[in-house]
Chains A and B, each alone.
Chain A
């Protein structure tokens, strides 16, 4: 079966007005792909996400959507400006994912309500659905935000550093949820720092640094040595990771 491409880019230059953040960005995203965007702080990862959302126009190059740009793009950003003291319950936070499709006065119908309940179940937040946000732990809040992302019901999902300040159990549960989205044919682009998560859960990777895309391809080709060559890891960090791989019997050096 031929691979169905959702998005492809070549020679993309991204930034803000007259400031170029990153250039030569090229990647292809198929349906059901999980693309990890990796890079140091300030390398242009969030700029790429904002461009894909349409909040920033590309400075050069173009985004090609062979089957047309999806009507809905789900997005989960960093929580820097999130207000967890707002008086709202988990169920209503999840419902926010459907609001933009309801217009000004549209009501939440049965189909939408079922989508919300299903998202709460799958993210493990059904039992805390009536809890106010300020009583949630960081992990519970992130699960609730994943529920909101699911309610958006989009063919393309963008996640910007979704595992910051999250414990490993929650991270593992949310990563398998991402894989289940991919199995449903949704494409996911996520900004990550954890190399092991990239290798275990993503299909491809894009490494940004030095103002350009340094690497883009299947995850198997993203090795510790490769990352040292591109200046993302130091020799000692790479040696430590290789040691861990050897211990686990993984051949990826």
Chain B
């Protein structure tokens, strides 16, 4: 039953994703809270050409991947902002256009260059792809993310709840947003090997949306998001071990999807709350208000 523990690559993958869960949980939680879930997804695709070009030019090294990925991510974010300000197209359409171009360009270059890395691993991740360099990248990503969160936690909360108030309290209100987006790209790069470019953002968003149904405090929210992310990784990796043709990325994301669906149905702020709040729900009303009935005491007293 526990034969997967005998394989070094599984221990490596479990260690990597455990550390990664500490890091992607707060990132995913704030992507959801800041209504940036889709922007995170778009950013995951936007970094692809940077990674691919770096791979074709310098091979599959972590350093080249970081340089390529960060460059592409920042370039797409800057271009999106520029298009939204300088043309009639809004930010969502600009971002969607640019990330689709970036994703297609990345896959085109990867295929045309006759890459040694199978396309499936690139898109969906592979347990076997987690080497020492990747472990160091994930460790560094988690360290930078957690230290950053300790420092920007309060301004990030203020900026998320009430950006106008945050602007009045901060000398450089944009800095916290920019630093957060940098952390998003860094975590996408950290998650890239285990989950692939298409699935990396799934580990950020699905545990965070599932956890949101359960809790109403930010501390509780971050803890539950982490627990969901961690168990998604562990269960997903074991599923991928027993079904060798299934890449690790979709397996992990599908486990996270199970957490999401269960939370949606059973959590206090899921469907339950929706049914309680739904104004169109059929209610059983009394035939007439009690104090208007002829024999009603209240009516007798007032008449």
A: residues with CB less than 8 A from B are 53, 55, 73, 75-78, 80-83, 86-89, 92-93, 96, 99-100, 102, 104-105, 132, 134, 148
Contact = CB atoms under 8 A, between A and B. Distances in A.
A55 B168 contact: yes
B163 A81 contact: yes
B158 A132 contact: no
Would you call the interface of chain B mostly helix, strand, loop, or mixed? helix
A100 B162 CA distance: 14
25 contacts: A53-B168, A75-B168, A75-B169, A78-B164, A80-B164, A81-B164, A82-B162, A83-B162, A87-B33, A87-B212, A87-B215, A87-B216, A87-B221, A88-B217, A93-B161, A96-B158, A96-B161, A96-B165, A99-B154, A99-B155, A99-B169, A104-B154, A105-B151, A132-B216, A132-B217
Contact of A87 (B150, B163, B217): B217
Identify which of A73, A92, A102, A148 gathers the most chain B CB atoms within 10 Å of its CB.
A92
Identify which of B157, B158, B170 gathers the most chain A CB atoms within 10 Å of its CB.
B157
Contacts of A100: 169-170
A76 B162 CA distance: 10
B160 interface: yes
B133 interface: no
Q: How large is the interface on B (under 10, 10 to 19, 20 to 34, 35 or more residues)?
A: 20 to 34
B78 interface: no
Contacts of B151: 104-105
Contacts of B168: 53, 55, 73, 75, 77
Q: Which 9 A-B pairs have the closest CB atoms?
A: A132-B216, A77-B164, A75-B168, A100-B169, A86-B161, A99-B154, A87-B221, A53-B168, A104-B151
A41 to B, nearest CB: 17
B82 to A, nearest CB: 18
B167 interface: yes
B117 interface: no
B216 A89 contact: yes
B279 to A, nearest CB: 16
Interface in B138-162: 150-151, 154-155, 157-158, 160-162
Contacts of A148: 165
B11 interface: no
A138 to B, nearest CB: 15
A36 B218 CA distance: 37
B220 interface: yes
Given A96-B158, A99-B154, A75 B165 contact: yes
A186 B168 CA distance: 18
A73 B216 CA distance: 30
A87 B218 contact: yes
Contacts of A99: 154-155, 158, 169
A88 B161 contact: yes
B150 A83 contact: no
B220 A83 contact: no
Contacts of B220: 87
A77 B166 CA distance: 10
Interface in B67-92: none
Nearest to B273: A134
B165 A77 contact: yes
